[in-house]
Amino acid sequence: MTLPFVFVDTSAWWAYFHRDDQWHHRAVAAMRTLLESRAVLVTTDHVFDEVVTGLLGRAGHRIAAQAGTGILKSPSVLLVFVDEPTFREAWRVFEKHDRMGWSPTDCISMGVMRKREIRRAFSFDTDFEKMGFDLFPGDDES
């Protein structure tokens, strides 16, 4: 399986780093597959903030800090810092799609994925499918 670039969403990071998450075992297996395939794990500074902040509340400071450090130090992770044009376009998308339930971070993620031509998101959030992307792991992958 070749997965050169995969966007990693907040839900996947939470599940991977938090043992009590309902998707933890599936996230660990999926991450193993991605790393073995030498995929580049793309995420944004906005997702990073959501991950660390969410884990702080769910699992405490130690887990949040370990997750943040793990993401920052991983040679497999490409952390994209969102520029102003991407941010403003994401805000326009957020404003227009009130019925979709997408967060501003979801819209930023979508903008980064489109700009970098990334088709697959490692996520347990089906919003990425609604945005027109493929989810990893799919039902046949885990």
The CATH number of residue 43's host domain is 3.40.50.1010
b/e burial code for range 56-80 (CB count within 10 A of at least 16 → b) = beebeeebbeebbeebeeeeebeeb
Please report whether residue 85 resides in a domain: yes
Please report whether residue 138 resides in a domain: no
Please report whether residue 141 resides in a domain: no
The pTM for the full model equals 0.91
What average pLDDT does the chain have? Answer: 92
Please report whether residue 139 resides in a domain: no
Over 50: is that where the pLDDT of 109 sits?
A: yes
Over 80: is that where the pLDDT of 142 sits?
A: no
Instruction: State the Cα–Cα distance between residues 37 and 55, nearest whole angstrom.
Output: 27
Q: Residue 119: which domain range?
A: 5-131
Domain count along the chain? 1
The pLDDT of 43-66, averaged and rounded, is: 96
Over 60: is that where the pLDDT of 44 sits?
A: yes
Q: Report how many helices (DSSP H) and strands (DSSP E) the chain contains, helices first.
A: 7, 5
**The predicted structure's pLDDT at residue 1:** 45
Question: What's the pLDDT tens digit per position in 10-20?
Answer: 999 999 999 99
The pLDDT of 110-135, averaged and rounded, is: 92
